[in-house]
Amino acid sequence: AQSVAQPEDQVNVAEGNPLTVKCTYSVSGNPYLFWYVQYPNRGLQFLLKYITGDNLVKGSYGFEAEFNKSQTSFHLKKPSALVSDSALYFCAVRDMQHSGYALNFGKGTSLLVTP
């Protein structure tokens, strides 16, 4: 099965500090990995994706993610957190074993950035 896990339900960080939201994956074959953000009462917004190539992927709003094959991880990072980054973050992997190639999501990590 193609799956991802987000080990932390919540991450707290002070504004201006670096943030990391963790994600590990379990796939057969090459993974296609995604990060989405969800603000309260809104849909999911695409942040970034890893397909192939450089292990460091840059995305929207200053976020980046590091793909680590040996650790099967795809952690989301930002050098300096903003209060406005407070939201729910989802890691996802493309399901390449079924037609349609839907995304399989982690359970989400709530990020709280305090002033």
Partner 1 sequence: DVKVTQSSRYLVKRTGEKVFLECVQDMDHENMFWYRQDPGLGLRLIYFSYDVKMKEKGDIPEGYSVSREKKERFSLILESASTNQTSMYLCASSPRPEGGGNTIYFGEGSWLTVV
The least distance separating partner 1 from the CB of residue 97, rounded to whole angstroms, comes to 11
Helix (H, G, I), strand (E, B), or coil: what is residue 13?
strand
Could you give the count of Cα atoms lying within 13 Å of 81 in the half-sphere of its Cβ? 21
The least distance separating partner 1 from the CB of residue 19, rounded to whole angstroms, comes to 20
Nearer to partner 1, 17 or 45 (CB): 45
Nearer to partner 1, 43 or 115 (CB): 43
Nearer to partner 1, 1 or 70 (CB): 1
CB 34 within 8 A of CB 21: no
Q: Which residues of the chain form contacts with partner 1 (CB under 8 A)?
A: 32, 34, 36, 41-46, 49, 51, 90, 94, 96, 98-108
The least distance separating partner 1 from the CB of residue 101, rounded to whole angstroms, comes to 4
CB 57 within 8 A of CB 49: yes
The least distance separating partner 1 from the CB of residue 102, rounded to whole angstroms, comes to 5
Nearer to partner 1, 46 or 61 (CB): 46
Burial class (CB in 10 A: 0-12, 13-18, 19+), 36: buried
CB 91 within 8 A of CB 39: no
